[in-house]
Amino acid sequence: MKLKELLQFTPLLAAALLASCGVKDKSGTAESDSQQVEKVRVEEVVLVPVEQVSTFTATVEANQVNNIAPAMGGRIRRIYVDVGANVRSGQAVVAMDGANLSQQQTQVATLKRDYERYKELYEVGGISKQQLDQAKTQLDVAEYALSNLAENTTLISPVSGLVTARNYDPGDVVMQLQILTIENINPVKVKVNVSESYYSKVLKGMPVEVQADALGNEIFKGVISLIHPTLDPVSHTFAVEISVPNGDHRLRPGMFSRVKINFGTNDSPLLSDMAVLKQVGSNDRYVFVERDGKAVYTLVELGVRVGGKYEILSGLKAGDRVIVHGNTGLIDGTDVQVVQ
């Protein structure tokens, strides 16, 4: 009887064991499903005043560049300055051969005597008024030619500045080509191309900061001196010229520089840089916004960087809850749980 009872009990025991295993499987599956909810931390987007500071790259240029060259060919007799010399406006810098000048001076002296003699003859009725006028015209033409020859025999610098190039030596024959280059570098000029979105914000006289890589972290103060009136139809930018005082000549033409222009402030979303992710294979930036327990993929456009935060130009609004921790590996629609 005992054996018979044991045999009857065995199927019941097996069923109970199978049932208990099934419960464990179900609870295990439920526990596994519950682990798919990602725990994240969020940051609420708020609008704050953000300075609209843009940085541009440019090259330092001279304020004025003058190429010293004669109006007609000739032999160079003397060059009074060399590269690196400072010259002042009106200073003689080159002497050309003076043979033609001497001949013209002699001709002018002769025509002056003839004209004086013609005046005396006219006063006594010896010649007509027409003959006197012709003599005066010849003298005027000769004096004008003498003035041009004098200007092109002794070459004068029209600007104050620094000699930056010398292309000939005394004795060389030059045919209307530049002998010297003189550049005015106080002030210097920096030209940048600014996006058309800032066109209404750029004003003549606005303060600007200029930093030359060759001079380390030294900052030079400048002002916007000229705003070009037309825009490039391809790049949609316009040229802005900046004047920078340079009394000690530390800034030199050709230096690579960085220009910072402050366009005022805008109330914009400011978001921790930990929240911003880069789309693989593109330059797109995106964040995940927590909505109703879901991670929502959201493209954003970045503005200026302020400390460890980014200005958000588009994609977010005030009050959005952006995931700043636990966002790595998320996909759109992932279940998330916000923790402190």
9-49 confidence digits (pLDDT tens):
444 444 444 444 444 444 444 444 445 788 999 998 888 88
Residue 165 resides in a domain? no
- Which residues does the chain have with pLDDT short of 70? 1-35
What's the predicted TM-score (pTM) here? 0.63
Measure the CA–CA gap between 174 and 86, rounded to whole angstroms: 23
Query: What pLDDT is attached to residue 26?
Result: 41
Same domain, 295 and 241: no
Residue 193 resides in a domain? yes
Same domain, 333 and 274: yes
Residue 70 resides in a domain? no
Residue 158 resides in a domain? no
Task: Look up the domain containing 308 and give its range.
Answer: 38-50+267-338
Residue 8 resides in a domain? no
Secondary structure of the chain: what % helix, strand, coil (to 5)?
Answer: 25, 45, 30
Same domain, 329 and 307: yes
Query: What pLDDT is attached to residue 21?
Result: 45
Same domain, 209 and 220: yes
Residue 179 near residue 64, CB atoms below 8 Å:
no
| CATH number of the domain where residue 207 is located | 2.40.30.170
Residue 162 near residue 249, CB atoms below 8 Å:
yes
Measure the CA–CA gap between 168 and 171, rounded to whole angstroms: 9
Measure the CA–CA gap between 319 and 52, rounded to whole angstroms: 22
Query: What pLDDT is attached to residue 77?
Result: 93
31 Rama sector, left if φ>0, alpha if ψ -120 to 50, beta otherwise: alpha
The DSSP code for 9 is H
> Peptide bond preceding 187: is omega within 30 degrees of 0, i.e. cis?
yes
Query: What pLDDT is attached to residue 309?
Result: 86
Same domain, 232 and 276: no
Query: What pLDDT is attached to residue 271?
Result: 86
